[in-house]
Structure 1
Amino acid sequence: MSFARQFASKVTSGQTILRRYSSNAATKYLVTPQEANELVQHQGAVLLDATWFMPNSPRDPVKEFAEKRLPQARFFNLDKVATPSDKGLMHMMPTGRVFADACEKYGISPNTPVVIYDAHGVFSSPRGLFTFRSFNHENSSILDGGLPRWEAEGLPVETSEPTTPTAVDYPTPELNAKAITSYEQMLSKFTGKDSAEELILDARPKNRFLGIDPEPRPGLRSGHMPGAVSLTFALFLQKNTVNGKEFTTFLPPDKLRQALIDAVGEERAQLIIDGKLPVTTTCGSGMTAAILWLGLRQLGVKDISLYDESWMGYGARESSPVVTSD
């Protein structure tokens, strides 16, 4: 049966759909295009495009959003809904007021369901979700497979002028105190401390982790933090091709668990899953670290923080200890 026919048959039982999502929408991290569409139709969910590209990419997320987007989507600019940095760091975690102001502009109240997507499939949308969840907006998910999966499954896109939503009130929220790790806290994790007490997972490609390949940001040395373990973010994802559209999605939980075991060993993986070994995720600038965060969340891991400035802040400090061996 085609997706359109499947969806049409489900719409006839609207009360069933409402019951289905009223019980689990606040805790579901990933939704399919069909589920996202149902959330929009029956619960007034707001769709947010959180597409972001690496600094050496020729693509422009703002331009692409203006040309094509999910119907009535808003653009959640991760570099703008952020705390300004005197070190030139982008998309740092916003203050509660900056986050609330953005939500108000997008027509999002504290009870509004939010579905975040990107143009890759899965790349920058987890960072958007991390932001919402860190401010305790639990009724938030990502569209697993993003815009290309949405199109591949036959749902309509919007190419006309983006609409301006009606502003609403959003009280200033408090940031979850355990969400973000600072530079000083990172140093304490491997200075005068048993490395078995905590674990640092680095989402960058392995050759950047080892200092073999240069960082994409000019002048930034490569390597990794003492005691860190490489878990390249792509190892939590799978590539898909549907109806000529290519996109990434998260691995199923059993394969996520195996990817974690392959990176850290079975004993440490089980300690992480059991909540006995706290984890901090890091990457180049705090973007793909959120992919590791979300993958671990899907395994039930709760004790996870994210090093917000990541290697861009850490490696730029000449006093930071750097390792280039495995």
Structure 2
Amino acid sequence: MGLSTPLVLKPAEVAAIQPGKPGDLVVLDTSWHMPNSPRKAREDFHESHILGSHFLDLDEVASPHPLGLKHMMPAPQVFAEACEKYGIRPDSHVVLYDTHGVFSSPRALYMFRSFGHERSSILDGGFPAWRAANLPTAGGEPALPERSSYPVPALDPEAVVDYEGILVNEGKDPERDPAAFIVLDARSQGRFAGTDPEPRPGLPSGHIPHSFSLPFQAFLNAPSDGQPYATLRTPKDIRSSLEGALPSEHLQAILEGRRPVTASCGSGMTAGILWLGLRSLGAKAAIYDESWTGYAMHKLQEKEHKPQ
């Protein structure tokens, strides 16, 4: 792979990797489904998965959150223990996939890269693309590999934005203050505008002040009859989507590294798709880990405790 590991690999590229010894290549199913979905990711894995892969539950490999939020960025020790469980070494090439095509695997890649594990990629098109290529699959629960040793890594402090950071940014005018970061919201435009309900009961819709709507589908080639799974769009097409969502001066500043950008969504999952698209353009992006669910819950709590 050379010094720089690709963010995205096609099924044939993954199949062509020839590991020299166990742990050189580790493939993980990182599928996740929305709360209102009838599908169960672990059950899907048991039914069928890439031969030799293991299932990484993004809700289990996460730090506890005071608001009860799921799949938050894990503590460094938790991340290291998960790597050891699956035989991952610091020099392992980790390939992450999901059963949608491209949905939750970018969030997993964001986690690995934020902890400095640069030898990590997603499988473009995920498990559906793997099957379409007639590559080997298996069912059941595979035996875990020999446990590895993974030193506790440091988390990139610029990778994760918290609620306090969002509040500080709200006090800045992104049109005039170059220190203000740009917030891109990956949810649907209806949820962003507050006209469609959130999938989580009791949570109001709406958006973070000064944020921009950019539904995550804008960075994906949608499933079609000829290709019934999502894939990541080309950098050129991703840039075109950004041009339609942002003022030109904001986009230019982001691409030149002069303006920070933070991706948000409902719960920090599909924000990973925006993060991946930005990374494919060479831009460094953060994720507001709590995203709209955390933001709205904080606001509801503040309203309840506000003196009358």
TM class by shorter chain equals: over 0.9
Report the secondary structure of 2:59's partner residue.
Answer: coil
Match of 2:88 among 92, 108, 112: 108
Q: Which residue of 2 aligns with 1:275?
A: 257
Once the two structures are overlaid, the 10-residue window that deviates more, 32-41 or 103-112, is: 32-41
Which residue of structure 2 aligns with residue 97 of structure 1?
77
Distance 1:245 1:157, change over 3 A: farther
**Farther off after superposition, 291-300 or 79-88:** 79-88
Q: Which of these residues, 171, 184, 187, is aligned with residue 204 of structure 1?
A: 187
* 1:245 to partner: Cα distance: 5.7
Determine the C-alpha separation between the residues in 2 that align with 1:117 and 1:251. 16
The DSSP-based 3-state class of the residue aligned with 2:231 is strand
Structure 2 residue corresponding to 1:36, chosen from 3, 14, 18: 14
Aligned to 2:53: 73
Secondary structure class of the residue paired with 1:281: strand
Tell which deviates more after alignment, 58-67 or 26-35.
Answer: 26-35
The answer to whether 1:312 aligns with 2:290 is no
Aligned to 1:217: 200
Deviation at 1:42, TM superposition (A): 5.6
Give the deviation of 1:265 after TM superposition: 2.7
Output the amino acid matched with 1:257.
R
- CA deviation profile, 1:104-126 (whole Å, cap 9, x unmatched): 00000100000000000000000
Separation of aligned partners in 1, 2:170 and 2:148: 45
Q: How far is 1:300 from its partner?
A: 0.7
| Distance in 2 between residues matched to 1:272 and 1:40, nearest whole Å | 37
* More deviation, 113-122/161-170: 161-170
SS in 2 for 1:246: coil
Which residue does the alignment assign to 1:255?
A: 237
Q: Which amino acid aligns with 1:315?
A: A
Q: Distance in 1 between matches of 2:123 and 2:221?
A: 15
- Cα contact 1:72–1:163 (8 A) shared by 2: no
1:57 is aligned to 2:37: yes
Tell me by how many angstroms 1:293 deviates.
0.5
User: What code does the residue aligned with 2:273 have?
Assistant: I
How far apart, in 1, do the equivalents of 2:110 and 2:279 lie?
Answer: 10
Q: Displacement of 1:75 after TM fit?
A: 0.7
Give the CA deviation at 1:266.
2.5
Structure 1 residue 276 displacement after superposition: 1.2
Spell out the pairing of 1:230-269 with structure 2 (5 A cutoff).
230-241=213-224, 246-269=228-251
Q: How does 1:176-187 map to 2 (within 5 A)?
A: 176-187=156-167
| Identity rate, percent | 48
In 1, distance between residues paired with 2:294 and 2:160?
14
- Contact persistence 1:206–1:230 (CA under 8 A): yes
Displacement of 1:84 after TM fit? 1.0
Match of 2:209 in 1: 226
Whole-Å separation in 2 of the counterparts to 1:280 and 1:321: 23
- What is the TM-score with the length of structure 2 in the denominator? 0.92
Which TM-score applies when normalising by structure 1?
0.87
Secondary structure of the residue aligned to 1:280 is strand
- Secondary structure of the residue aligned to 2:33 is coil
Unaligned runs of 5+ in 2: 304-308
Secondary structure of the residue that 2:221 maps to in structure 1? strand
Task: Indicate if the aligned counterparts of 1:203 and 1:230 stay in contact, CA closer than 8 A.
Answer: yes
User: Counterpart in 2 of 1:194?
Assistant: 173
The equivalent residue for 1:150 is 130
The yes-or-no answer on 1:47 pairing with 2:19 is no
**Partners of 2:18 and 2:149 in 1: how far apart?**
20
Higher mean displacement: 85-94 or 203-212: 85-94
Give the residue type in structure 2 aligned to 1:30: V
Letter in 2 for 1:263: A
Q: What is the correspondence of 1:165-184 to structure 2 with a 5 Å cutoff?
A: 165-184=145-164
Distance in 2 between the 1:184 and 1:292 partners? 22
Q: Which residue of 1 aligns with 2:306?
A: none
Offset, 1:162: 1.6
State the alpha-carbon separation in 2 of the partners of residues 47 and 215 from structure 1: 33
CA distance in 1, matches of 2:15, 2:54: 15
Query: Whole-Å Cα distance in 2 between the matches of residues 136 and 39 of structure 1?
Result: 22
SS at match of 1:165: coil
Alpha-carbon deviation of 1:67? 1.1
Paired AA for residue 25 in structure 2: A
